[in-house]
Structure 1
């Protein structure tokens, strides 16, 4: 146990880039309020947008009325932020690589949603949306506060109000009476 703790501490102290990448992956940076690297921020945002769009497309088909309305807004808004991020990277204002696919964690959540129906779908979708937007708000707040790329930092700050609103909307999912199909 002691060796594991020492090894983990060594990895964290090995270098700022490694520590932040590992920290973002494990959630340590969020807990400690550490600013993500530009590369980590871009990757996390791109994966988050892909997950929001794909899971919301499923909710447009499978969700109740409240989820369908929320999902339409998520597809619109996250398509917009995805395009904006691609433009920042594409125009060379941000030196980072955009991932082409979801990471395994988000893919497994998406796969679970694909197989779920009715209340099971709603329960998972609502939960995933709340946690995804909590993570996104934390990520954007930390980068807007201390990010090292001025254009990306500015964009993160301008995007935060919409993400906070998304979080509020996600937290309301499941609280209103279900009006749509409950399969």
Structure 2
């Protein structure tokens, strides 16, 4: 009886771990549990994030204050670089995971920015950047610790300090408007 109960508990734990890992990054479950994303999820999320950062920065260059414009310039430079690096690292069937455009959620965020009046732009853009970079830091930390592709795992670890710096800049920018 005791062995049966232990087997059921062990199977339940294995199943819950497997299910948590199969749930896409978009649900946030992997982040809450600290589970490393699957390689395809990591690639998709990283490339989608880069696309959104670049496009949002272009809007910030038009509507933002001087601090936001400077931040946006750095986002375009840095996220263009990480996009290019990631594309060079991904090979074979993994190339299909590269995002070529924004998903619905990211498109809605970008539309909100585009439709925001310049006077209200900081209240939309600044917290968006904090949240986006918190998500990116979490994604890259988890993959650098537990990813299954050694090249991408190493790259995620090397890219992480820049993302942490972006998060610090975004937090300063957000806090300065309050």
Count of paired positions: 166
Change in CA separation of 1:87 and 1:93 when aligned onto 2, cut-off 3 Å: farther
Q: Deviation at 1:150? A: 0.2
Structure 2: gaps of 5 or more residues:
1-11
Change in CA separation of 1:127 and 1:21 when aligned onto 2, cut-off 3 Å: farther
Cα distance in 2, alignment partners of residues 94 and 150 from structure 1: 14
Cα distance in 2, alignment partners of residues 35 and 94 from structure 1: 17
Q: Deviation at 1:128? A: 0.8
Cα distance in 1, alignment partners of residues 125 and 108 from structure 2: 13
Which residue matches 2:85? Answer: 84
The Cα RMSD (Å) is 2.4
Which protein is richer in helix relative to its size? 2
Q: Compute the TM-score of the two structures, normalised by the length of structure 1.
A: 0.83
Q: What is the CA deviation profile of residues 77-133 of structure 1, one whole-angstrom value per residue up to 9, with x for unaligned ones?
A: 0000000011111x4495652121101000000001001122421111101100000
Q: Deviation at 1:21? A: 4.6
Contact 2:53–2:79 (8 Å) recurs in 1:
yes
Q: Deviation at 1:15? A: 8.8
Change in CA separation of 1:118 and 1:22 when aligned onto 2, cut-off 3 Å: same
Change in CA separation of 1:169 and 1:93 when aligned onto 2, cut-off 3 Å: farther
Q: Deviation at 1:22? A: 2.3
Q: Compute the TM-score of the two structures, normalised by the length of structure 2.
A: 0.85
Which residue matches 1:7? Answer: none
